[in-house]
Structure 1
Amino acid sequence: MTTTSDPCAAFAPVLPDPLRSAAGRRILAALATADPPRAHESRNHRTHRQLRLLAGMLPSADRLLADPDLLATLSACTAVVDPALYMTVLNHYVLCLGSVVGASGDLRQNGPAGAGTARAHVPKALETAARKGVFLITEIGDAGSHLAVRTVAEFQPERREFVLRTPDHGAAKFSSVGAPGMPQSAAVCARLVVDGTDHGVFPFLVDLCDERETAPGVAISGPLGVDALPLEYALVRFDGVRVPYERWLRGSAAIDELGCVDDPLTVDQRLRHTMSVGQALWATLPSAAAALARAAAVAALRHSLHRRSHGRLAPGSPVLTYRTQQRALLSALAEAFALTCAAQTAKDLWAFTLDGRITTGATSGTPPDMAFAPWASVDRRLAAFKALAVAGAARVTGECQHRCGLAGYLAVNRLSAYHGFAHAFDSAGGDNRLILLDIGRALAEEHTDAAPPGQPDPDSPTWWPGLVGALERRLAGDLHTTVRTRRTPHLSRMALWNPVLEHTRQLGEIHTRRLAAQSVADTLAAVHDPTVSGPLSTLAALYGTTQALRLAGPLQWTGLLGPTQAAALNDTADRQCERLMPHLTTLTEALGTPDDLLPTPLSDPDYAAALGGTLTWHPGAPA
């Protein structure tokens, strides 16, 4: 197998790996040397200790949230070490403190007359992670609760404070809240009511508990388990919790001394703005998902290369000798590469937003209305990248887990945790299906005339971007025509869209595939080193062929791919795998996680010895 002298250095300008950056290595080293789990310590308590360790080495929350590179690095590092820790970091920094910092920025830039422009206070206990922060938006009783939040914050003008109430059991909030024993606060999304009038959904910063007891008016349930992402979760209810005015994360809104609300946003705009805290999540979650996908694909390839098979066709041959294993795992590596390209695009889009080169939502076209969820309405393109990233990571980690047999299911090899993470985030952080439905509806409404596909050669890295782009336009055109034909003045929106929802979801999904294909093409266009461009171009071609095989049905019924072309894709994929095998060492070294900081038995050439070395043995007396 051919290799460059230093694959990581050669690939770094094209595919910067956050795990190998100086900041990434510091974070991984710190977590590797952290105190081991303590006896009888809950998972929430352990991740809280790790969160405090990270807080001691990270900049202040406002600086961290203004640095997309560092936030993406933090996301990738914590996810590969322990997905449960990533969830803790996400809740604390991105969602809870993101709500505090975001409200502060709005107040400085857009504060109404008389509101003052002083920076809102970020409590020191949250800044240092002495208190763990969480984000409470989801209510358990109804689907789509983000669009109909029922937790109420009623303004009391005589005391200039708010009274927070949960109206019934169905409005109880859900998040990774632990039992009292560690201090916790939450950004609680609640409907602001002033003198009986609904003014939209705002976050309120509320202390839930301290080391000894739950705060007055707060009720926290016993733990709820989620096997896919193991932390202690709980339901939270409020009964008369008093929230000071300064804990209202009001942004540009205010209530004057007469009790009149001054908010430049409508109720729907306010909900969209409150949910915009998700932009930093959608911009950096793809980096975490891509890191997990790369780690899984490289570990599975190395395991298959060293692991012997005793099948009768070729006893003693490495498992990777078999074409089925090659196709599965090299295709997984190709998708991990595409997810890495997409993660870079998502992070760049967020950076452009932060530095003012584009405005929020300008990357997305016209914001879709909030038919199913608020996410795509906040930022359609970043929400699409989130959906793409976790769906792709779930495919990659699931396939790698399956292809490693028993080893893929052992916790010490991490693949089960990575697969659980990806599946959990199908719903967490913005439900993928609802995102795709809203995107599909918007694309059908905006439809433009279809253009023909480009390069007809599947071995060309430009073939798949042209083909999937044409597929997106054809499906959008078909759905546009169907909806236009069915629309009548007296037909309700439900009656109009319900029969075509699966087509709508599929269009949203194809849109995310097109974004990934374009990210890959943009990455390849920046490669000028032939030792890098050769393997990456073939990897990109294999990614496109694999995607075309998955979408062979839609490609054929839209007339973009003929039956003969579709039948030839399997042979094309085999040929591309043959071309990749000589570059396997280079690719796995360039795309893999740093073995010195994140070793697993699965990647070790002597897997059995490495696995045994992780175990405590209890030998009997000599026989």
Structure 2
Amino acid sequence: MAIATAPPRTSGARERTATELVRLVFDGDYERVHADVRAALFDPLFDPRAGLTMDEAGRLAYERSRFLHARLGRPSAVVADPPRLFALAEWPSVLDVSVFSLLMVHYNLTFGTVHDHGAGRTDLADLVGDLDSLAAFGPYMATELGYGNNVAALRTEAAYDRENGTFTLNTPGPLAQKYMSYSGFTDVPKVAVVLARLRADGRDHGVYPFLVRIADENGLRPGVHAAPCPEKPVQGLDNGVTWFDNVRLPRRSLLLGDMGEFAEDGAFRPLGGNARQRFLRSMTRIQPGRLCVSSSAVGAGRASVYIALRYARQRLVNGPGRKEMPVIEYRSHQLAVFTAMSTVYAMSFLLNRGKRAYLAAGGAVDADLNGLIAVTKALSTWQLTDVVTSMRERCGAQGMFSVNRIADYVSLLQGLVTAEGDNKVLLATVAAQLLAAEETEPPPPAPDGSAHDIGDPALHQALLGYRERALRESARSAMHDDTVERTYLEAWNGTMNAALAMARTRGVRLAVEEFHAAVARAEDSDAATGLRLLATLYALTEIHRDAGWYLARGVLTAAQVERLPATLDELCPRILPLADALADGFALTPELVRAPIAAEDYVTAFQSLTDARPER
């Protein structure tokens, strides 16, 4: 492959490369958007705490959240500046995965919903003030025990009484209990956004958000009931099951936005299309929420690679003909760590594309942008789940300890895969939209892999584009096969897995495009070389994943497919001299992550925790 091998490096060259990589990874916005969030995490409040109960860990997450709120700005300022919101999602989970969940629910889902649908409402000043000052935390109560992510089907009811201008909020049965929102600590004041089905004048007008004080300094408010959920590994928050027993709400509780109005006689009038359109309008925080989820996943992925690489530089093993050597010198270890690093960079650049598109749209999310955000969320959380799991394994027994962070990231990613929409459901929605869309350009010809070196970036992008298009055409043809009598559901069920593969491939293709765009923007030659090597590793790993498919369609030769594992292997020694600088591009340090195995001397750091210091 025509990819240069990096020469030996000096400390000055490494620093210049790392600086350039930080610029690219954080899309040129590191100092304005990220630096102070990162700096806040050096406070001793974020030092590891051993031996906490789940209750104590949850309360510590609340304390840390209050600290960040005081240091970094109120929700009203952060929600109005989406890059800051995304940064607040990205950094805290590096040190406390529960803080990410708590802050994002409060800032994005709850306060963001108030911002979008209750801006300028002076009648809400007391409730909004409590949320903005963090005098009260803001749970977001959408999901119900019996309906999961199918929020449009929820059954919690808010019945409107025109005569006295009030709503009665009620949970009609166990399936309608609000599920997983933070209601377990009943001594913490809470003002929640509750999604409920609005009924007025005998009609169901669909789902609307309501702002409800559910707890104050005296505990749960009258008619509000909550029970704690079972414990979750690592994330010791107060997830609960919440239900309402005829809670009377003033009319101001309804966050109408542009979705309805009250006539002079007090009658409620829905606006803005049908019930489904109004429901989608009420859920405006889902798209930025998905970008927040991806930001947290990427932050955890970066930290896991950084920690695992630093450990691999020190962890000594036996080698044939050598008494001891660092485990990173083994090619098998290099391939695992560098593949993970390439994935983290790929997902960072894909996420940057999604964030730029969201900002450019000014909050007006059309079908294309919604699809990009959904694909980004699904692909990043899936791939970074693989990354943190692999890095946990590569750290051996040390990877099992929470103090070394990576085990906590495994738990975090498990939750992120289903947060803000289950990944398969998201991809299925995107796939269905892609199948329904009309083609505006003729399909490109099938690439001739035999005419290219397997390491050619142009071939990688052509192969991924061809696979995406071919899967789409195959799924579309199967969906519209008139020779088989079946319902739409039967047709979609028979096509769904191919359509999901198509949507996933689309995400990979976009990530590879963004990877090479970053290479082109790199102003430091070593940064460009390192990124080019990682882009090749990422693309070929994905192509190798579906090598049989490419071979069956004649776009790769048998010799090329057979050569793929060796090609991946040969990239590792080329990446190795640049690996430390590439990891520095994540803007992490041993002092920030506070993981013993990432320290300059991991043995001494680990012994300081265990008090195991034998005399020499």
Length-normalised TM-score, structure 2: 0.90
Q: Are 2:20 and 2:523, in contact at CA under 8 Å, matched by a contact in 1?
A: no
Provide the secondary structure at the position in 2 that maps to 1:591. Answer: coil
For 1:542, give the aligned amino acid. L
Q: Deviations along 1:328-375, whole A, 9 cap, x unmatched? A: 111001111111111211211121122x7xx321644xxxxxxxxxxx
Name the counterpart of 1:248: 254
The counterpart of 2:136, out of the listed 128, 131, 134, is: 131
Q: 1:457 to 1:103 in 2, by over 3 A?
A: farther
Amino acid across the alignment from 2:264: E
Contact 2:195 2:208 in 1 (8 A): yes
For the 8 Å contact 1:300–1:403, the answer to whether it is kept is yes
- Deviation (angstroms), 1:219: 0.9
SS of aligned partner of 2:540: helix
CA distance in 2, matches of 1:487, 1:288: 47
SS in 1 for 2:206: strand
1:515 and 2:510 aligned? yes
Q: Write out aligned runs for 1:529-608 (5 A).
A: 529-591=524-586, 593-608=588-603
Shift of the alpha carbon at 1:273?
1.3
Correspondence list, 1:65-214, <5 A: 65-105=79-119, 121=125, 123-174=128-179, 175-214=181-220
Give the TM-score taking structure 1 as reference length. 0.89
**241-250 or 40-49, which deviates more:** 40-49
The residue aligned with 2:305 is 297
**How far is the alpha carbon of 1:68 from its aligned partner?**
2.3
Which residue of the partner structure matches residue 395 of structure 1? 386
Q: Does 561-570 or 401-410 show the bigger shift?
A: 561-570
Equivalent residue letter for 2:357: L
**Aligned partner of 1:277 among 272, 276, 285:** 285
| Correspondence for 1:372 | none
TM alignment of 1:251-400, pairs within 5 A: 251-252=257-258, 253-258=260-265, 259-310=267-318, 314-354=322-362, 359-361=364-366, 363-364=368-369, 379-400=370-391
Q: State how far apart, in whole Å, the 1-side matches of 2:593 and 2:582 are.
A: 18
Identity %: 26
Corresponding residue number in structure 1 for 2:453: 457
Any conservation in 1 of the 2:104–2:292 contact (CA below 8 Å)? no
- CA contact 1:287–1:344 (8 Å) conserved in 2: no
Aligned to 2:470: 474
Gap regions ≥5 residues in structure 2: 1-7
* Aligned residue in 1 for 2:409: 418
Structure 1 SS opposite 2:590: coil
Structure 1's 159 and 465: CA in aligned 2 closer, same or farther, altered over 3 A?
farther
- Cα distance in 2, alignment partners of residues 271 and 452 from structure 1: 42
Q: Which moved more, 1:94-103 or 1:297-306?
A: 297-306
Aligned alpha-carbon RMSD (Å):
2.6
Shift of 1:396: 0.7
Are the structure 2 counterparts of residues 350 and 218 from structure 1 closer, same or farther at C-alpha, using a change threshold of 3 Å? same
CA distance in 1, matches of 2:84, 2:423: 25
CA contact (8 A) 1:141 1:170 kept: yes
Q: Do 1:180 and 1:209's aligned partners in 2 also have CA atoms closer than 8 Å?
A: yes
Distance 1:119 1:11 in 2: 48
Distance 1:499 1:228, change over 3 A: farther
Letter in 1 for 2:561: A
CA contact (8 A) 1:20 1:594 kept: no
Distance in 1 (alpha carbons) for counterparts of 2:595 and 2:463: 39
Mapped partners of 1:155, 1:558: distance in 2: 61
CA distance in 1 between partners of 2:436 and 2:367 (Å): 18
- Of structures 1 and 2, the one with the larger relative CO (CA 8 A, separation 6+) is 2
Sort the Cα spacing of 1:308 and 1:277 in 2 relative to 1 into closer, same or farther, 3 A. Answer: same
- Structure 1 letter corresponding to 2:76: D
Q: Which amino acid aligns with 1:610?
A: A
1:610 offset after TM fit, Å? 0.9
Secondary structure, in 3 states, of the residue corresponding to 1:586? helix
- The count of residues paired between Structure 1 and Structure 2 equals 592
In 1, the alpha carbon distance for the partners of 2:268 and 2:106 equals 32
* Bigger mean CA offset, 542-551 vs 439-448: 439-448
Code of the residue aligned with 2:92 in structure 1: it is: T
8 Å CA contact 2:189–2:219 kept in 1: the answer is: no
Task: For 1:186, give the aligned amino acid.
Answer: A
Alpha carbons 2:607, 2:613 under 8 Å: kept: no
Question: How far 1:397 moved relative to its partner?
Answer: 0.5
Aligned partners of 1:61 and 1:101 also within 8 Å = no
One-letter amino acid of the structure 2 residue matched with residue 428 of structure 1: A
Specify whether residues 560 and 129 from structure 1 end up closer, same or farther in structure 2 by C-alpha distance, changes over 3 A only. farther
SS for the counterpart of 2:91 is helix
Q: List gaps (5 residues or longer) in structure 1.
A: 109-116, 365-378
**Cα contact 1:55–1:127 (8 A) shared by 2:** no
Is residue 2:52 matched to residue 1:52? no
Deviation at 1:287, TM superposition (A): 2.4
CA distance in 2, matches of 1:69, 1:420: 25
8 Å contact from structure 1 (residues 459, 538) kept in 2:
no
